[in-house]
Amino acid sequence: MRTSAFDFLSNLDTLLAVFIGAGLATGGALLAEIIQERTNRKRRERDAARFFGDILMSIDQILSFAFHSQGIGDKWGGVSIRLFKTALKEAEVYERNRERLFDILDMDLRGRIHSHFLTETFPIEALIESSEDIASIENTLGRGVKLSKKEADKLNVQLSELFEAREAGLTALKREHAKTDDLCRDMEKIAKVKFNTLVDQANSPAPTKPPTSGKTT
């Protein structure tokens, strides 16, 4: 009986050791998995912050060049419009990768990024469409096409409304554009990098135009 009791206790100790070892192994594996998942989540968040920060600064720089170009020559000339179109194409990169925004865990920051892109994109689209409509109406009025006074007045009213809408869109775009630096500074904390920008072309002085020489009589 004594031998059987000792054998039972010995087997019980072995069984208990097996259970403890299995529990420790399982717990260790779960802990390692949790740590790995947390590390991967942080890495995805960091990569997403870097990606969106780069896109924001890229659009910001293009818009700065566009604003600066408006102080040289024709405010709504071909160069300015092309720059606005380039900024809009750059914003399409965001649209194609918008799902990566969910890798950023801060819900408030995530909402601010998305809102910023929308608030910048809509005015850019409106500026381009308004400029195209203005060019079309001005072309119609300037071709010498015979129009009734009522038709001409209607086109001039539309033209005036488009001018006002375009300037209002530009003001809204500049206001939102000014928020980019603060937004990127918040993303820098997650991205662990600093988003460097070139010289702000929008705030740099436009080159002075050479004086025109008039004919003397």
Domain assignment of residue 82, yes or no: yes
pLDDT digits (tens, 9 = 90+) for 111-147: 999 999 999 999 999 999 999 999 999 988 887 778 8
Place of tokens 């995530």: 110
Domain that holds residue 97: 15-191
pLDDT digits (tens, 9 = 90+) for 66-100: 999 999 888 999 999 999 999 999 999 999 999 99
pLDDT, position 45: 93
In a domain, 45, yes or no: yes
Is 202 part of a structural domain of the chain? no
Q: What is the dihedral of CA 136, 162, 174, 196, to 10 degrees?
A: -20
Whether the Cβ atoms of residue 67 and residue 202 lie closer than 8 Å to each other: yes
pLDDT digits (tens, 9 = 90+) for 9-49: 455 566 666 666 666 667 666 666 666 667 788 999 999 99
Distance between CA atoms of residues 145 and 139, nearest Å: 10
Tell me if residue 214 falls in helix, strand or coil: coil
Q: What is the pLDDT of residue 73?
A: 82
Q: How far apart are CA 162 and CA 140, in angstroms?
A: 15
Tokens found for residue 75 = 């405010």
Helices 180-191 and 107-142 pack at an angle, to 10 degrees, of 140
Domain membership of residue 95 (yes or no) is yes
Looking at the chain, how many residues does it have? 217
167 lies in some domain:
yes
Look at the chain and report how many structural domains it folds into.
1
* Any domain includes 216: no
